[in-house]
Structures are given as C-alpha cells and as structure tokens.
Structure 1
Amino acid sequence: MKCIDKLLSLLLVACLGLGLVSCGSESTDQTSYDLETTSYQYGITKVNNISDVSFYGSNLCVTDQDNFGIDQVDSHVAGAGGVFNLATGQCTYGQNLFGKMYPASTTKILTCLVAIEQADLDTQVTVSAHAADQTSDSSVANLAEGDAMTLKDLLYGLMLRSGNDAAIAIAETIGGSEEGFAKLMNEKAAALGATHSHFVTPHGLHEDDHYTTVYDMYLIFQAAVQNETFLQVISTPSYDVSYTGADGQAKSQTWVSTNRYLNGKESAPAGFTVVGGKTGTTYEAGYCLVLYSYNDQNQPIISIVYNSDCTLNLYYLMNELLYTFGEAPS
C-alpha cells in the first residue's frame, strides 16, 4: 500500500511539472492577444510557487470580438471605440477594438500613472529649455525655462491643460530624458497586458511608431483609475497653481480642463456622472476621448472614442455610447 501511495505521489508531482514547464522557471506575465484572430490567451503569473498561482485578467472586461453594437450608434464618425462596465466585467460596445490607433494626448494617461508610481510628488521640478521650447500650435501649460514647481502641480498642467511642456518636464525629471521615460512607459504598458502598444513620447504628438489600441488604452486607464491621486487630478475642472519663475519671482496661473464634460461645455446623458478622463487631438489621430463615469446604478464605466472627425461628433458619439451601452444590464 505504501508503494502505491508513493507511486501516486510521484505521478502527481510529474503531472504538475508538465503543467508548469511551458511557463519557465522565472516569474512571468504571459498574457497576450492576437489582433489577427482577436482571441485571448491568458497565462498565469507568479509561478515560482504553486501557492502564488493566479489568473491574469480575472477581473477585467474581456471580449473576443472586434466590432459589436456599431449599428446602434453613429459609429461612422469615429475610427474606433469601446465601452467597458467595470462592475460587471463586460465590454458592452466594440468598434475596431484591437486595431492600431494613434492616441494623441490620451498618451498622458500613461505618463501620469508612471509619474505617480515612480516618483515623490513633492519633488521640485525645474522646467528645462527643451521642455519650454514648444511650437506655437502645441498644447502647452505656458511654462517657461527655469520655472520651478512640484511634480504634483505639473500633473495638473499635464492632464487638465494637456501641456506638452509639462509632459516633457515630467519625463526628464523621472526618466532622465524623453527616451528614458518612454522606456518606463512601455514597461508599464506591457505589465498591464497592453502588448499591442508602443510609446515614443510622454505627450503623444504624432510619431508613426507611437500607437495603441482601444482595448490597450482600456487596460491602462482601468489601472490608472484605481489610484486615488490619478482620480483627484482627472476629476478637477480647474486648478490654480503658484510657482517660482527663473528670476525667483512668484508666478501663478489657472489651468482649465480640456474635457468638455468638466469645463461645462457638454452635458452627459441623464443618470451619468462624469468623473474625468483625457482628451487628445492631432491631425493623424483625429479627436479622441477616454472617459471615466458612473451610471445611475453607481457602476463605473470606461468609454473610449478614437479618431472622431470633429469635436462635436466626438462628444455626440460619446453620449450615444453612454446612453446605449453604459446602462446596467436589465
């Protein structure tokens, strides 16, 4: 009987070994999705110890469809979009969910998250000549070379005013350079499962090799909204900042959110409370918006529109998405 028990034990150990051999000997995150088939292949994480095994994405909204629900709204005014109910774990709308898209300034969602996680927000930052040197048509927080303020203040200039100057100042402070910070961005995106994205800059001005997908941006944004500091920043309609100029004199200005739901230029459908989000616009990316809101059942909703043809249609479609796909399932 003891020999039989010993044999069974050895067989069990062998089976477990075969089951884990494909994961390797080191802890890895093997989550991936294939844009060609839009099928998901969920791996396991923390496989060094059998007691640490957990399935990646167990609390995420998951779908294997690229397009659904697009005939119920005016989807033709945009290139891509998605609606994700974080309470139910459902993706309720999908338009080109896994297609390659240019994110424009919605890139700053990841910039903000990396900054919050990587640095002390009380750090004093001095704006470099490179950060302050932006073109006349660039979205800026009106920073000048030598301006000094806290990293936390810069986050408001980044997310409310969508300052490209603030983005570069943050990147240089944390990553040493834009390139160094982009490395941190790509590492964070990969860790979140956003494996079909690549980031080159902290601000999102067009680069051919700077791209994401609607689903990847959902993955990044859903992680960001778990952070209280991030939520505080994106939910602020306007921010009064006081700082010091290069000459040592006090300076101040007010940054107003570019999000039309927050600045009073647009109203969400009845029953929805908008928390905040991030806008983005370039010629190549079109008009973009990543939004966090609550429906009348107090369920958190992430909704995304990419590559809309104009501002009015961007918000019109966003309202359609919330009204049609943001409600709690009946």
Structure 2
Amino acid sequence: MSSLRPFCLTAWLAAPAAAVLLLLAPAPQSHAQTQAAQATPAPAQSADPAPASPSQTNVAATSPEQRGITARAIDKVKQVAKSAGDVFNRVPCLPPKGGSKAMGSLPHVAGKLVAGQPVLIVAFGSSSTAGFGASSPEFNYPNRLAAQLRRHYPTADITVVNAGVGGEDAPEMMKRLQTQVIDVHPDLVIWQVGTNAVLRNLDPGDTAKMVEDGISRIQAAGGADIVLVDPQYSPAVNQRGESAGKMVKLLGKVAELRHVGIFPRFEVMRDWHENQSIPVESFVIADGLHMNDWGYACFAQLLGDDIIRSVGQIKLGVNVPGDVRTYRPM
C-alpha cells in the first residue's frame, strides 16, 4: 500500500529555490499564460526564509556544498517551470463551453481560510489520483491543485495529501477510509472513484452505496467538506459506455442526496474532445485510460477553479445551504 505523500505549501514557500523562481518568472501577459505556470516542485530541505532579492544573498558566505545544493534546486525549479508553461502553451485549458454544474459550497474550508487556520486537503482515490501517466510527481493533479491554491491564497497554510493507490475502487478504498482519511482530520476530501469499478464490470449501484456509506462516515467524524470526482472520459472507459453512464449518474445522485460537491470529470473531458475538438491522445496516454501531463494539469486547473469559486461564495454569504449536513438516504 502506498504511503501518504503530504504536500506542504508553506515549506515550499520557504525554499530558496522558490524565491529564485519568483524572480525569474516573467510577468503574466494573458489569462492563458497565467494558467501555464502551475508546476509544483517538491519541497526543499531548507527551512530558512527565502531571500527577498539576489542582492540580499551573500553567496560568498555559503560553502561550496551549499552552493551546489542550491544550484541544483534552482535548475530543478527552472526546468519544472518551463515544462509547466509548455503544457498550456500548446493547448489552452478552457472550461466546458456550456459551463458545468456548480460544485456547491465548501463551508469548512472557507471557515478555516477566513480564520487564518491551516487547511488540510486529502486527495483520495486510485491511479489517477496517484498520478499514473504523469511524467513526474510535480504533474499529478494533487500537486498541480496545491500550486494553484497557493497562488490564489498566498498567505494560507494549505497542505494537500495524496492518498491515491493505483488499481483500487470503492471496496478497497473503504478499507483504508478510516486510517488515511478520517483519522487525519481533513478539512476537504476529494474522492475520485468509479473508474476501476466500470472496468471490472462491478455493479454501479453497489459502488454508489459504498460511496454513500463512506461519505456518511466522513461527515459523522467531523464534517469535512467532500467533493466526488467521477470516472474519466477515455477509450478504455468508453468501451463500457453503459456502465460508465450509470456510474456517472449514480455518483451525481449520491452527491445531491448527501449535499456534497461533485466535479463532473467525465463530462468535462468529453467536452474537451467533442466540443473543443482536442484529440483524445492530447490528454490520455497510450494505454487509453490514464491522463497525461496536460490532462492532469487541466483537470486540476478546472477543479481548483471550482473550489476557489465555492469558497468565494461562502465568504460572500452566498449559496450556503442550512441543511448542508442533513442526511437523505438513496
């Protein structure tokens, strides 16, 4: 079983390499170029404050070994930044032309941000959460999402934990729900589920019932905000179109009944292909199932946009259902 991989944004902000990236990055010229700078480097070892400018850094006072470590970190950051920019420079990441259904409110996350308290997000799921198909960990969706939220909330202490395990679906995820989700006391759980159930010909109704039970347990344990992510639109999934359609519909129904958010990944990815005329191979790798760097990056971007929009609604006192935790069985 894969271990949890936390992504601490405050540690990243403290790294000297991050400061160099900020100095080297050109000023954004358009919305598409702003979206491009999204890669999230792994946290650096140093916890010392980042220098404000090169003139404030006494390079001569550092040891050769320290200079070597810093230089390598700078090169890594520059390389990741260039790759990130290339992703959306080739193909812009645009929301569905017709718009997607509103995610709803995220009162727990909003409350923490308003109060200036740390926010913990758990990305729970299978291989597309773990990042299979991405060229490096920087390009999996939890890291891309973390980078986006850091940019939008620069003073917030936000941690994203990647709890994705390849090959799993609801039956296996339920076995680790307590230890890897509930016991870490998250503020937001992003639960990606259903794809492997479709590929295994499992009953979509059984999956929906397990997911509903898992949501009930998460809500009873502390009321974390929850966002479901349904299966991806890809050739392997589309070969079982009837089952995929049922899964998407039932997960949407669970989200509605339990008053949690849902990110309609299947519809978003189908829009890429059918309405935006993006070839499938531009967002899915050769196995016909998993997303590539662009697919993960655009998925994370649009998911992050929805999260930010939902948090913003809470701050403005809009769209805050009073019965957000009311239980209505399927």
Task: Give the TM-score band, short-chain normalised.
Answer: under 0.3
Higher relative contact order (CA 8 A, sep 6+): 2
Greater Rg over alpha carbons, structure:
1
Q: TM-score, normalized by length of structure 2?
A: 0.26
